[in-house]
Structure 1
Amino acid sequence: MLDLTRLRVLAAVAEHGSVTAAAKALHYAQPSVSHHLARLEAETGAVLLRRVGRGVRLTEAGTLLAQRAQEIIGRVAAAEAVLAEHVGLRAGTVRLAAFPSALSTLIPAAAARMRTAHPALRLELTEAEPPEALAQLRAGEVDAAVIFRHRPEQGSGDGADLRLTPLGEDRLHLVGPAAKRWPARLDAHTDADWIAGCERCRAHLLWLCAEAGFTPRIRFTTDDYVAVQALVVAGLGMTVLPELALR
Structure 2
Amino acid sequence: MDVQRLLIFREIARARSIGGAARSLGWTQPAVSQHLRHLERQAGTPLVLRRPRGVQLTEAGQALLRHADAIAARVQAATEELEALVQLRAGTVRLAAFPSAGATVVPAAMSLLAGRHPHLDVRLREAEPPQALDLLAAGDVDVALTFAHAGETPAGTEEMVRVPIGQDPLRLVLPRSHPCAEPADVPLHLGELAQEKWAGGCERCTAHLRQACEAAGFAPDIRHGTDDYVLTQALIARGLAVGLLPQLALDAARDPGVAVRPAAGVRPRVLYLLHHREADQIPAVRGALGALTDIAARACRAEHAAPPG
| 1:162 aligns to 2:166 (yes or no) | no
Cα deviation 1:171-196 (Å, max 9, x = unaligned): 11111111121272211122210001
| 1:171 aligns to 2:161 (yes or no) | no
**Alignment of structure 1 residues 117-128 onto 2, 5 Å:** 117-128=116-127
| 1:236 aligns to 2:240 (yes or no) | yes
| SS of aligned partner of 2:157 | coil
> Does the 8 Å contact 2:88/2:119 carry over to 1?
no
Report the Cα distance in structure 2 between the residues aligned to 1:168 and 1:204, rounded to whole angstroms.
Answer: 19
Listed as ranges, the gaps of 5+ residues in structure 2 are: 1-84, 182-187, 252-309
Measure how far apart 1:87 and its partner are.
Answer: 7.6
Which structure has more strand as a fraction of its residues? 2
Measure how far apart 1:215 and its partner are.
Answer: 1.3
> Does the 8 Å contact 1:194/1:217 carry over to 2?
yes
Match of 2:180 among 179, 182, 194: 182
Cα deviation 1:113-141 (Å, max 9, x = unaligned): 11111112101100000010011101100
Larger mean Cα displacement after TM superposition, 86-95 or 155-164: 86-95
Shift in alpha-carbon separation, 1:158–1:179, aligned structure 2, 3 A: same
Report the Cα distance in structure 2 between the residues aligned to 1:87 and 1:204, rounded to whole angstroms.
Answer: 43
User: Residue 139 of structure 1 aligns with which residue?
Assistant: 138
Report the Cα distance in structure 1 between the residues aligned to 2:170 and 2:136, rounded to whole angstroms.
Answer: 27
User: Residue 221 of structure 1 aligns with which residue?
Assistant: 225
> Does the 8 Å contact 2:98/2:129 carry over to 1?
yes
> Does the 8 Å contact 2:148/2:155 carry over to 1?
no
Report the Cα distance in structure 2 between the residues aligned to 1:191 and 1:233, rounded to whole angstroms.
Answer: 17
User: Residue 249 of structure 2 aligns with which residue?
Assistant: 245
Larger mean Cα displacement after TM superposition, 163-172 or 179-188: 179-188
Which has the bigger relative contact order, CA under 8 A and spacing at least 6? 2
Report the Cα distance in structure 1 between the residues aligned to 2:155 and 2:247, rounded to whole angstroms.
Answer: 23
Listed as ranges, the gaps of 5+ residues in structure 1 are: 1-85
Question: Which structure has the larger Rg over C-alpha atoms?
Answer: 2
| SS of aligned partner of 1:179 | coil
Report the Cα distance in structure 1 between the residues aligned to 2:91 and 2:178, rounded to whole angstroms.
Answer: 53
Question: Match for 1:128: what amino acid?
Answer: A
Question: Match for 2:180: what amino acid?
Answer: W
User: Residue 91 of structure 2 aligns with which residue?
Assistant: 92
Report the Cα distance in structure 2 between the residues aligned to 1:154 and 1:88, rounded to whole angstroms.
Answer: 39
Question: Match for 1:192: what amino acid?
Answer: E
| SS of aligned partner of 1:168 | strand
RMSD of aligned alpha carbons: 1.7
Equivalenced residue count is 161
Any runs of at least 4 consecutive aligned residues in structure 1 with deviations exceeding 3 A, and if so which? 86-90
> Does the 8 Å contact 1:130/1:156 carry over to 2?
no
Report the Cα distance in structure 1 between the residues aligned to 2:241 and 2:169, rounded to whole angstroms.
Answer: 20
User: Residue 20 of structure 1 aligns with which residue?
Assistant: none
Q: TM-score, normalised by structure 1?
A: 0.62
